[in-house]
Structure 1
Amino acid sequence: MSRLQLKPMLTWSGFFPGKPLRKDPLKHFRDFSLNDLIPVLIWVKNSLELSEKYTDFIEALTRRMEPTKRNQLRYQLQRSRISHPIVVDKILVEIFRTHTLKKSDRDIEETGFEDQLFDLLLYFNDLHYEAHYLPLEVVTPEAMWSLSLAQASTGLNNVDYARTANIKHLIFLKFLKQHFGENYKTIEDSFKQQTGLSGFHVLMITLSRFYLTTETGNAAVSSTQYSR
């Protein structure tokens, strides 16, 4: 069984210490077409998800960078990761939300594009990790849950989900009860109101049924017996 590995992420604050975040991180990309940007970001996401593609991705990203920046990046990547697919998803959401240009004379092959793409990843890494997770004490259960969720190391592929998902859900619910005490019921009541479900456990069972249905075509557990 493979061990859970939580690797530190490069962030804007870590790579450019003392340099403030850009006010408009997408400014450089607004003159590029969606038809060019989306395939690039999907390539980035796929390269981050598949370990066999990661090395080639780093080489392609850094090949034309300014030498000092390239050397610093390659050195730091010996002990950290450049980004995470979740971060790329956030970038894609922002682009779809704000970007409308479908045709452009700008070419993604122009000099400096890789530098700007790297800076964009760092910016959103900062938003995803620095602001929400780094202030936590790393030895606490809260920090471990947060880091695990931040890096999607919660067993979401079909094999891991079948093996451990329900156990992880139960452990997480126990953690919430212990951590929030009397306030746990308030959180669950809010969840019920927001989702229309009768409790946290129903979500766990619903997701399990969804998995069984997609994998086998049969839902082995009926949700009605848990909806009371």
Structure 2
Amino acid sequence: MIPISPVITYSQFYFTEFTSSKELNTLYKYKIEDTILFLIGVRNGFSSKKNSQYQFDLVKAFFDFLPIQKKKRLLQLLDGSNSVLVTHTVVNRIIVDLFNQINYSQDNVSLNSESFASDVLDTLLAYNESQYQSVDILERPDTPELAWDIFLMQDNNSLDEVHLSRTSAPKHLIFNKFIKKSTSIDDLTLYLNENFYVNSTHELNLHLLQVFIQNTANLESKNTLLKIPPSEKIHQVLIKMEYVFGKGITKNNSFNVGELITKPFFLHSDGNLYLTSSRDFALIMDKIWTFFLYKSKAIQKINTQIKNVNDFLSFIGKEYYEKFLLLKIFNDFSKKYVRVLSSDDQYLPDLSMIVDNKTVYLIEIKSSSLNYRTFLNRNTQEFKQFIDENFALKKKGVRQLINNIRHLADKSNELYNIRSTNKLTIVPILIYTEHHLTKPMVNRYVEDHFKKELAEINLPFKEVLPVTMIYYEFFIENADYVKKKPNILKGLIRDYWRYIRKKEREYVKFKSTQNYVESSVSFDDYLIYNPNVYKSEAKHILDNMTRIFDLKGTSE
């Protein structure tokens, strides 16, 4: 599902021992702003499908200007061993280090210099060595921590910019609907206009969607750099909203990868804004309103009780994700033989769905967000602690579902209007909004704890399926599919766990880290390859969400 590709390092390429001094960046002597743009373009090109990478303008230029022997060696490694030279994480590190030196370098050598391409290669190789030398796959046993080390290091997910961007338009409209329900839209519009040059709550969404469409067109034409000239209104809006980094507007020496991820536009001295990362931009498109409203203090126009980030996350989690977004989608599944119940804040989970009085879906919604420093520092222990506190060990997640199952066993008639429980199939689900939890081994780790606690209960049910963690995006993209066949969700979950058990058996026969990862992929990563799921056209998703949320009157 998610291949662990070998990364080409300095010592591998040159058959020599690597020392940390080789990471000293040889690129400082070149025009730093232009070098940053070159690296962005090369990364975007290498991020495309393997058979089209060399067609991109800057990737082609990179290879054309390499010395012949280096070019042959690099192509041999890339094509012969399915290795990787350019990774998102490493290029981000180089960009940050370059930018932090922008006021101190001589910055006078042209990129047309004969040594430039070779210096870029050596820098990538050195940073790769530094980034990927600490995991020691062959020397360590296969554990959840090893899997998370690998994927925190590579920052790798199957749910990428394609999936985030396909639903960004309807999600913006849905969130606007929520805002209108929660506050006086005139007050918020006035605040945005006075402080951010935005005339309506939809204008920014429209601008960003246009940027995404233009970037997609650029990539299709093998042009890896998207620029926004000062003449376009979105240019000043993005600067005002602090989604831009550049000389004169960003502090040097303190700029870090976390900031870079949240500022996906680079202000060049030529006056243009350049999109730095399609993936980071897609994440901004996905989260922009929630984070922007908090950062700009506009959220207080919606709820005056929000004083800090915990208040904000609690409000968004409970009022938006649980009571508005997901509740409305699940209510749309209701029909003669399908009942949907919302939480009573005592005995019922966040959502319950009963199909034919034979299948009961018990659903808890988790909107907790990881601190970006967990990924900036590749801190596996913090990642594990986040999972333990919100899903596996503490009062949330598994413990909530176990309590829900107990209540269902004790009060099935009172709570669910179900008299007989011995024919019930229970489907426990944790819906989450933190996209990094699609990483391998997270669901299996949580399920292991769920299984231990479940074994201590005397259950009157026919069956309790393993707990399944599902990214909330699934229910937006596939709402129409689930509505037509509500129990298809149970079928997909069964298929997923059959796949996991099959891969576990394969791992027992041949123990490799790749097989270990394959036996622990997330539900959403597994479904990427299902012919019926995550396949709707973007317009169909928009039309379906428009129907569910009555969005026709939302646009302006």
- Given the two structures, how large is their TM-score scaled by the length of structure 1? 0.63
Q: Which residue of 2 aligns with 1:55?
A: 54
CA RMSD of aligned residues (A): 4.1
Q: Which residue of 2 aligns with 1:177?
A: none
Counterpart among 106, 123, 143 of residue 126 in structure 2: 123
Once the 2 structures are TM-superposed, how far is the Cα of residue 74 of structure 1 from its aligned partner?
1.2
1:48–1:85 Cα contact (<8 Å) kept: no
Q: Which residue of 1 aligns with 2:108?
A: 105
Q: Which residue of 1 aligns with 2:69?
A: 68
Compared with structure 1, are the counterparts of its residues 205 and 27 closer, same or farther at alpha carbon in structure 2 (3 Å cutoff)?
Answer: closer
Q: Which residue of 1 aligns with 2:78?
A: 77
Compared with structure 1, are the counterparts of its residues 158 and 43 closer, same or farther at alpha carbon in structure 2 (3 Å cutoff)?
Answer: closer
My pick for the range that moved more, 46-55 or 6-15, is 46-55
Once the 2 structures are TM-superposed, how far is the Cα of residue 191 of structure 1 from its aligned partner?
7.6
Deviations 1:37-90 (A, max 9, x none): 111111122112222652235543222222222211111112111121111011
Does residue 1:89 correspond to 2:88, yes or no?
A: no
2:78–2:84 Cα contact (<8 Å) kept: yes
The amino acid across from 2:140 in the alignment is E
Does residue 1:15 correspond to 2:13, yes or no?
A: yes
Larger Rg: 2
Does residue 1:114 correspond to 2:113, yes or no?
A: no
The amino acid across from 2:385 in the alignment is I
For residues 123 and 25 of structure 2, the distance between their equivalents in structure 1, rounded to whole angstroms, comes to 10
For residues 64 and 148 of structure 1, the distance between their equivalents in structure 2, rounded to whole angstroms, comes to 33
Structure with a larger share of its residues in helix: 1
For residues 22 and 103 of structure 1, the distance between their equivalents in structure 2, rounded to whole angstroms, comes to 23
Secondary structure of the corresponding residue to residue 132 of structure 1:
coil
Unaligned runs of 5+ in 1: 163-168, 170-182, 193-197, 219-228
For residues 120 and 141 of structure 2, the distance between their equivalents in structure 1, rounded to whole angstroms, comes to 30
For residues 74 and 138 of structure 1, the distance between their equivalents in structure 2, rounded to whole angstroms, comes to 33
Q: Which residue of 1 aligns with 2:385?
A: 187
Structure with a larger share of its residues in strand: 2
Compared with structure 1, are the counterparts of its residues 25 and 118 closer, same or farther at alpha carbon in structure 2 (3 Å cutoff)?
Answer: same
Once the 2 structures are TM-superposed, how far is the Cα of residue 125 of structure 1 from its aligned partner?
0.8
Q: Which residue of 2 aligns with 1:152?
A: 155
Q: Which residue of 2 aligns with 1:30?
A: 28
The aligned length equals: 190
The amino acid across from 2:132 in the alignment is Y
Compared with structure 1, are the counterparts of its residues 121 and 191 closer, same or farther at alpha carbon in structure 2 (3 Å cutoff)?
Answer: farther
Secondary structure of the corresponding residue to residue 9 of structure 1:
coil
Compared with structure 1, are the counterparts of its residues 127 and 103 closer, same or farther at alpha carbon in structure 2 (3 Å cutoff)?
Answer: closer
Once the 2 structures are TM-superposed, how far is the Cα of residue 97 of structure 1 from its aligned partner?
2.1
Runs of 4+ in 1 over 6 A off after TM superposition: 189-192, 198-203, 206-212, 215-218
1:12–1:123 Cα contact (<8 Å) kept: yes
For residues 68 and 141 of structure 2, the distance between their equivalents in structure 1, rounded to whole angstroms, comes to 34
Percent identity reads 19
For residues 48 and 138 of structure 1, the distance between their equivalents in structure 2, rounded to whole angstroms, comes to 32
2:9–2:128 Cα contact (<8 Å) kept: yes
Compared with structure 1, are the counterparts of its residues 62 and 86 closer, same or farther at alpha carbon in structure 2 (3 Å cutoff)?
Answer: same
Once the 2 structures are TM-superposed, how far is the Cα of residue 108 of structure 1 from its aligned partner?
0.3
Secondary structure of the corresponding residue to residue 29 of structure 1:
coil
Once the 2 structures are TM-superposed, how far is the Cα of residue 94 of structure 1 from its aligned partner?
1.3
1:86–1:151 Cα contact (<8 Å) kept: yes
1:136–1:142 Cα contact (<8 Å) kept: no
Secondary structure of the corresponding residue to residue 23 of structure 2:
coil
- Given the two structures, how large is their TM-score scaled by the length of structure 2? 0.29
For residues 26 and 15 of structure 1, the distance between their equivalents in structure 2, rounded to whole angstroms, comes to 17
Q: Which residue of 2 aligns with 1:179?
A: none
Compared with structure 1, are the counterparts of its residues 26 and 138 closer, same or farther at alpha carbon in structure 2 (3 Å cutoff)?
Answer: same
Deviations 1:86-137 (A, max 9, x none): 1101111111223325884311011011111011111111111122354653
For residues 93 and 53 of structure 2, the distance between their equivalents in structure 1, rounded to whole angstroms, comes to 20
Unaligned runs of 5+ in 2: 167-365, 367-380, 399-429, 436-470, 477-540, 547-556
Q: Which residue of 2 aligns with 1:46?
A: 44
My pick for the range that moved more, 66-75 or 99-108, is 99-108
For residues 385 and 90 of structure 2, the distance between their equivalents in structure 1, rounded to whole angstroms, comes to 27
My pick for the range that moved more, 18-27 or 90-99, is 18-27
Q: Which residue of 2 aligns with 1:4?
A: 2
The amino acid across from 1:39 in the alignment is L
The amino acid across from 1:11 in the alignment is T
